[in-house]
Structures are given as C-alpha cells and as structure tokens.
C-alpha cells in the first residue's frame, strides 16, 4: 500500500519515523479515522474540525489547513484504490530529546510528523450488521481525557484483547465510580427505550463521536423519535428495547448482548436498523 508521510507518498515498507518521535515515546499524538464508501469520505468537515480541536487541546498547531487535509485524504484514497474502508491519519509532536516537558515546536526545532494510510474494510456488509455485537462490560481503566482523540489506546487495546479471547466482539467501559457506561473501545454507546434514543452525555471520559452527533441529528429530525442525553448503567442497558454502537467504520451497529445476557431478544432492533439505513443513505 501507499502511505502518506510528511508531504510524500511512499510504499508502506519505506514509511519510517524516528525512534525519538514523541508519538512513539509518549503517545504524544492525535489521530482521526474517516470512513470511505465508493471512494467518497463520510463527514469530512466535522472530522477535520475535531482534529483541529484535539490538536489544540494538547497544544499542537494544525500542520496544514482542513482543506489540504481533505485533499490529501482523497489522494490516499485514490492512490490505494480504496473503494470501501477507512483512512487513518496521525499527527505527532515530532522527534526530540526524551524529556517529559516539551518546549514549543519552534524552540525545540521539532517538526510534526504527519502519517496517513488506507485500510480496505467491508463496512456495508460486515457480519455483525445482521447478528449484532456481543459486548463485554469492563472497568474504564483509561486516562481521564478521552475527549481528546490521542493515540493513548493501551487501556482499550488490552481490555478488548482480553474480551476477544473470551469470544466477545467488543467492550463497553463502565466508570468504576459512577457505574455508568462511558463508551466502547472505539465507539459511542446508545440504548433505545420506546421511541427515545439515549446516549451518555459528553464529558472528559467520552469522545464526542462524529457518528454519534450525526445520529443525534437524524433522530431529532425523524418522525416519531426523540433523542435524550443521559447516562445509563449495565442493568438499564440490559432492560432496554434495543442497544447499538456508532463509529466511523461501524456506522450504526446493533448490540445484541452484554456480558452474555441478551438485549432485545438477541436481535438487532427495528430502530437500530432504521437509523443505520438513514445514516448510510444520508452520507452516500
């Protein structure tokens, strides 16, 4: 595959970054993931806005304009003949002496590293769309700034791997203090009660998902549906009529069991199906 690295397109085996890069040493990097269907990017504007917000929250500048980013993503799509899948992009603070305190990029002579690559994935017809996901709930062991899309993903990676070894498709994190569900390893969480579609409120333990926000807008515009922001625990999720997860890549995907116990009779619910259809139609 062809990787974008700092203004150039290079074969993936030649795309190299310094071992002193702060992304490698400190997880000092911001990333984004956008879905691609038929070569078109989903919701590129809000993704670029979140990228800029995440960078600002860790004191990094946007290394190029939002328009240039979108242009480059399209070139990655093109050069990799990506019909269906995702484009991953990451921006690090750059390479420098390993010190916990960093100087400004200019003072320290650091240059941000910008990487983008494509992943070919089956998004429209993934097996979980019919069956729904079996999710394990686990304590939220992640750092407390999950509102920033950083590459500090070890908590999610360790927890999801352990759950996968037990046969689960994914995990939902539960705040150990409040016992409320925060979000998934890489998705936002929803339940449906009657005609009300509920998702936890946004705070420092939840990423403001782009898909979450689009689904919220779709629900608010839909005949006979209401959106509510409210925290819920495992028992409320098990008692819900339906549950689903959202992300770039998952779009809207049903959750049919939590900790091996069924939700909505182990079937993907009708409102989940309707929202998935509306989400994909809107973006195509």
Residues that bind ligand PDD (CB under 6 A): 33, 146, 183, 186-188, 207, 209-212, 246-249
User: Which residues are CB-contacts of 7 (< 8 A; sequence separation ≥ 6)?
Assistant: 114
CB of 156 to ligand PDD, least distance (A): 6
> What are the structure tokens assigned to 24, written together?
């490698």
Instruction: State the Cα torsion 130-246-201-69 to the nearest 10°.
Output: 180
CB of 209 to ligand PDD, least distance (A): 3
Query: Of the listed 136, 149, 160, 216, which one is catalytic?
Result: 149
Q: Residue 71 or 145: which CB sits closer to ligand PDD?
A: 145
- Is residue 125 packed enough to be buried (19+ CB in 10 Å), middle (13-18) or exposed (0-12)? exposed
Q: Residue 30 or 110: which CB sits closer to ligand PDD?
A: 30
List beta partners, residue 41. Answer: 36
Decide if 160 is catalytic.
Answer: no
Q: Residue 105 or 283: which CB sits closer to ligand PDD?
A: 283
The H-assigned helical ranges of 112-266 are 128-131, 154-165, 210-221, 234-239
Q: Residue 113 or 188: which CB sits closer to ligand PDD?
A: 188
Q: Residue 188 or 272: which CB sits closer to ligand PDD?
A: 188
CB of 184 to ligand PDD, least distance (A): 6
User: Could you tell me if 31 and 151 are in contact, meaning their C-beta atoms sit under 8 angstroms apart?
Assistant: yes
CB of 36 to ligand PDD, least distance (A): 12
Q: What is the DSSP letter of 271?
A: H
Q: Any idea how long the chain is? A: 284
Nearest-angstrom CA–CA distance, 125 and 227? 27
Nearest-angstrom CA–CA distance, 3 and 28? 20
User: Could you tell me if 54 and 93 are in contact, meaning their C-beta atoms sit under 8 angstroms apart?
Assistant: no
Backbone angles phi, psi at 280, to 5 degrees: -70, -40
Residues designated catalytic: 149
């Amino acid at each position: 595959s062809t990787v974008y690295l700092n203004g150039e397109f290079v074969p993936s085996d030649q795309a190299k970054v310094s071992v002193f890069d702060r992304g490698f040493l400190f997880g000092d990097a911001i990333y984004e993931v956008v879905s691609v269907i038929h070569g078109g990017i989903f919701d590129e504007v809000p993704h670029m806005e979140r990228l800029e917000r995440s960078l600002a929250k860790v004191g990094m500048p946007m290394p190029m304009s939002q328009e240039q980013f979108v242009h480059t993503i399209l070139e990655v799509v093109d050069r990799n003949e990506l019909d269906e899948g995702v484009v991953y992009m990451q921006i690090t603070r750059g390479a420098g002496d390993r010190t916990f305190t960093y100087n400004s990029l200019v003072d320290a002579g650091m240059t941000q590293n910008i990487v983008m690559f494509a992943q070919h994935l089956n998004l429209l017809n993934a097996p979980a769309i019919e069956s729904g996901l079996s999710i394990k709930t686990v304590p939220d062991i992640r750092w407390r700034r999950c509102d920033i899309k950083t590459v500090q993903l070890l908590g999610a990676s360790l927890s999801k791997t352990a759950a996968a070894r037990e046969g689960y498709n994914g995990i939902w994190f539960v705040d150990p203090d409040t016992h409320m569900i925060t979000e998934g390893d890489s998705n936002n969480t929803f339940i449906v009660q009657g005609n009300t579609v509920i998702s936890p409120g946004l705070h420092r333990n939840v990423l403001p998902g782009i898909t979450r926000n689009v689904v919220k807008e779709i629900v608010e515009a839909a005949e006979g549906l209401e959106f509510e922001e409210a925290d819920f625990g495992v028992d409320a999720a098990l008692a819900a009529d339906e549950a689903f997860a959202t992300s770039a890549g998952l779009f809207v995907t049903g959750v049919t069991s939590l900790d091996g116990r069924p939700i909505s009779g182990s079937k993907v619910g009708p409102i989940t199906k309707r929202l998935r259809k509306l989400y994909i139609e809107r973006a195509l």
